[in-house]
């Protein structure tokens, strides 16, 4: 009888043999073309797809070209996340949290020589952030070279369904043919048709490398990008005003959005609700005069700012791809691609990442979808991307992590009588000294009412929300129930344990405030 190790070894050898056989079978599969795969877009999703395809024996080229922002900002290989998104945003958020921690440190006995003189050096911060970004750009280039993926620094445009023309910075052109093509161009910030917006405003494309301190800033838009930018700017010592057209954090749980709004108000961020910008004018003193209209009172208001930052959504970068030449269809309203299982209406052309219609615009989503797509294209895999129950976090001054359905969407899908909501306020140990307000430290679990109460959504507002929600996202994938959650022993004292202590339902009408830290 074979031992368990021998059986595992045989299975591993069999899997390796099948893998090698698949690669050998694929070797001349697309010999009529220059490449087995061409990826248009050097962001997270496109790079993940390209690397996985190479691992499976494919010959791959990646095209990437960054058009400058209206303010002239450019960046290197790696896409939005690395250059002007998740990474620099988190670093700026951390810088703001550290400023808050310096003040808190005094209550813990740390002697700060001159607390009143503590301030952030914007130039030093942006230099440190950009140095890190450039290092990631370089590592990415080296990684492509080591994997023998051809990198073409050119704007990809379709000639036909199997041919892409790369237009270089100097105007020269390079033609590439491929059996399969993946569109992974992502998106860029949207500038509305408001006088002065395009001429004078910046976006998230510009804020992380801004040459001079932003000063008093008007943020137009109350989505997660707008809140995060306003939050870290205020934390770094700059006045911040947010113009809110409709609701804060549209698409997220609105009860949690209210907690974040209240916390940011307490931090000194100014919100102008139901307001839309009318114009931006540059004054003789260099200040920007912003005029906006309150849609409820139908009145006009004005204020002067040093910087205006637009965060009113993003558009897909498909317009310059000449998609009609390949027969690829897009959604007319936003230029996105409606692709079932990442396959467009043209059988050999695929799309991943933010360019997809109706999919979460999140870097890890693009990465995972890109890898799975490569395995289906070149590794005989059948596994499809699961876009349900994807966790995310808003890195506002008090963080908000969530996974699954919001309360409103759960009611819409199942009906109010079919769901139960467990909720609680809590006090983080970190807030004991100094005594900080806990009025917005809140969490809730949305479940089906019927036992064993399958969990439909988890929402957490408080410190380290991103780190906390990640683990519970895995539990959601394993069909977490309230029964399991209530029988999970928490780690004390942590804020993550608050999910295991939930026992008060909204329907009970009981007070969701804790009696003590150990109740």
Q: Which tokens hold the place of 460? A: 């957490």
Question: If DSSP states are collapsed to H, E and C, what string results for 50-76?
Answer: HHHHHHCCCCEEEECCCCCCCCCCCCC
The predicted model scores a pTM of 0.92
Among 448, 348, 342, CA closest to 405: 448
Cβ–Cβ under 8 Å, residues 396 and 260: yes
Cβ atoms of 398 and 440 within 8 Å: the answer is: yes
479-513: per-residue pLDDT in tens?
999 999 999 999 999 999 999 999 999 999 999 98
Q: What is the mean pLDDT of the chain?
A: 93
In this chain, the answer to whether the domains covering 30-189+313-388 and 197-312 adopt an identical fold is: yes
Instruction: Assign domain 197-312 to its CATH architecture.
Output: 3-Layer(bba) Sandwich (3.50)
Over residues 401-456, the pLDDT tens digits come to 999 999 999 999 999 999 999 999 999 999 999 888 899 999 999 999 999 999 99
Does the pLDDT value for residue 301 go beyond 70?
Answer: yes
Catalytic residue among 132, 423, 464, 492: 492
Report the SS3 class of residue 365: helix
How confident is the model at residue 117, as a pLDDT? 82
4 has pLDDT over 90: no
Report, at the CATH architecture level, how domain 398-508 is classified: 2-Layer Sandwich (3.30)
Dihedral sign for Cα atoms in the order 81, 85, 88, 93: negative
- List Cα–Cα distances, 232 to 268, 304, 362, in angstroms: 12, 20, 20
* Distance from C-alpha of 506 to C-alpha of 446, rounded to nearest angstrom: 10
What confidence score (pLDDT) does residue 514 get?
78
Residue carrying the six token digits 């395809």: 53
Choose among 312, 359, 310: nearest CA to 331.
359
224-235 and 86-107 helices, crossing angle to 10°:
40
- Cβ atoms of 187 and 361 within 8 Å: the answer is yes
Q: Could you give the angle at the alpha carbon of 104 between the alpha carbons of 101 and 109, nearest 5°?
A: 120
Query: Structural domain boundaries of the chain?
Result: 30-189+313-388, 197-312, 398-508
What is the tens place of the pLDDT at every residue in 198-245?
999 999 999 999 999 999 999 999 999 999 999 999 999 999 999 999
pLDDT in tens, 51-71: 999 999 999 999 999 999 999
Whether residue 93 lies in the annotated active site = no
The per-residue pLDDT for 111 is: 92
Q: What average pLDDT score do residues 462-480 get?
A: 97
Question: Residue 62: which of 41, 32, 36 has the closest Cα?
Answer: 41
Q: Where are the alpha helices (DSSP H) in 330-419?
A: 363-378, 407-414
> Tens of pLDDT along 327-347?
999 999 899 999 999 999 999
In the predicted model, what is the mean pLDDT of residues 296-323? 97
229 close to 221: Cβ distance less than 8 angstroms: no
Q: What is the pLDDT of residue 519?
A: 55
Q: How far is C-alpha 67 from the geometric centre of its chain's CA atoms?
A: 21
What 3-state DSSP class applies to 424? Answer: strand
Supply the pLDDT for residue 7. Answer: 38
Residue 113: per-residue pLDDT: 85
Under 8 Å between Cβ of 434 and 104: yes
| Percentage above 70 pLDDT, the chain | 93
pLDDT digits 0-9 by tens, 153-177: 999 999 999 999 999 999 999 999 9
Q: Distance of CA 256 to CAs 148, 245, 262, 293, 444, Å?
A: 46, 18, 10, 27, 9
Q: What is the pLDDT of residues 338-396, one digit of tens each?
A: 999 999 999 999 999 999 999 999 999 999 999 999 999 999 999 999 999 999 999 99
Contacting residues for 481 by C-beta, under 8 A, at least 6 apart: 447, 452, 453, 454, 455
Contacts of 449 (CB under 8 A, 6+ apart): 417, 418, 419, 420
Nearest Cα residue to 232 out of 138, 423, 94:
94
Distance between CA atoms of residues 80 and 210, nearest Å:
16
Q: How confident is the model at residue 114 (pLDDT cuts 50, 70, 90)?
A: confident
pLDDT at residue 129, as a whole number: 98
Res 1 pLDDT > 60: no
Euclidean distance between CA atoms 191 and 22, whole angstroms: 47
Beta bridge partners of 176: 164
The yes/no answer on whether domain 30-189+313-388 falls in CATH 3.50.50.60 is: yes
State the pLDDT at residue 177: 98
């Amino acid at each position: 009888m074979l031992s368990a190790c021998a059986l595992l070894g045989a299975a591993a050898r069999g899997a390796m043999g099948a893998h090698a056989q698949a690669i050998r079978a694929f070797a001349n599969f697309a010999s009529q073309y220059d490449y087995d795969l061409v990826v248009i877009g050097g962001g997270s999703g496109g790079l993940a797809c390209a690397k996985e395809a190479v691992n499976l024996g494919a010959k791959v080229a990646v095209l990437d070209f960054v058009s400058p922002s209206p303010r002239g900002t450019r960046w290197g290989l790696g896409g939005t996340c690395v250059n002007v998104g998740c990474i620099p945003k988190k670093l700026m958020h951390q810088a703001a949290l550290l400023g808050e921690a310096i003040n808190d440190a005094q209550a813990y006995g740390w002697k700060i020589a001159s607390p009143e003189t503590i301030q952030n050096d914007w130039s030093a911060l942006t230099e440190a952030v950009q140095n890190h970004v450039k290092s990631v750009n370089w590592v990415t280039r080296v990684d492509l070279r080591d994997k023998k993926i051809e990198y073409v620094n050119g704007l990809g445009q379709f000639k036909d369904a199997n041919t892409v023309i790369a237009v270089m910075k100097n105007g020269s052109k390079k033609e590439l043919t491929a059996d399969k093509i993946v569109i992974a161009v992502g998106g860029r910030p949207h500038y509305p048709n408001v006088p002065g917006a395009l001429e004078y405003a910046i976006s998230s494309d510009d804020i992380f490398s801004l040459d001079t301190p932003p000063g008093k800033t008007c943020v137009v838009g109350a989505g997660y990008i707008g809140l995060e930018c306003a939050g870290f700017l205020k934390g770094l010592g700059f006045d911040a005003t947010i113009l809110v057209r409709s609701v804060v954090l549209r698409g997220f749980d609105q009860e949690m959005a209210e907690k974040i709004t209240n916390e940011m108000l307490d931090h000194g961020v100014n919100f102008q609700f139901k307001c839309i910008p009318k114009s931006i004018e540059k004054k003789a003193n260099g200040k920007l005069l912003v005029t906006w209209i309150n849609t409820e009172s139908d009145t006009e208001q004005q204020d002067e700012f040093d910087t205006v930052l637009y965060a009113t959504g993003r558009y897909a970068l498909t317009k310059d791809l000449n998609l009609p030449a390949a027969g690829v269809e897009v959604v007319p309203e936003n230029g996105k691609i409606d692709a079932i299982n990442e396959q467009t209406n043209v059988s050999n052309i695929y799309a991943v990442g933010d360019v997809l219609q109706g999919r979460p615009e999140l870097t890890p989503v693009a990465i995972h979808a890109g890898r799975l797509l490569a395995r289906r294209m070149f590794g005989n895999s059948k596994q499809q991307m699961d876009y349900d129950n994807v966790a995310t976090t808003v890195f506002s001054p008090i963080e908000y992590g969530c996974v699954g359905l919001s309360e409103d969407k759960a009611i819409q899908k199942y009906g109010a009588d079919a769901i139960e909501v467990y909720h609680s306020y809590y006090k983080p140990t970190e807030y004991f000294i100094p005594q900080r307000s806990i009025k917005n430290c809140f969490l809730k679990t949305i479940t089906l009412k019927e036992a064993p109460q399958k969990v439909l959504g988890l929402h957490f507002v408080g410190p380290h929300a991103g780190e906390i929600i990640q683990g519970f996202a895995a539990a959601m994938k394993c069909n977490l129930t309230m029964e399991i959650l209530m029988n999970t022993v928490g780690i004390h004292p942590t804020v993550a344990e608050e999910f295991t202590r939930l026992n008060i339902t909204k329907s009970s009408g009981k007070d969701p405030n804790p009696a003590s830290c150990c109740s």
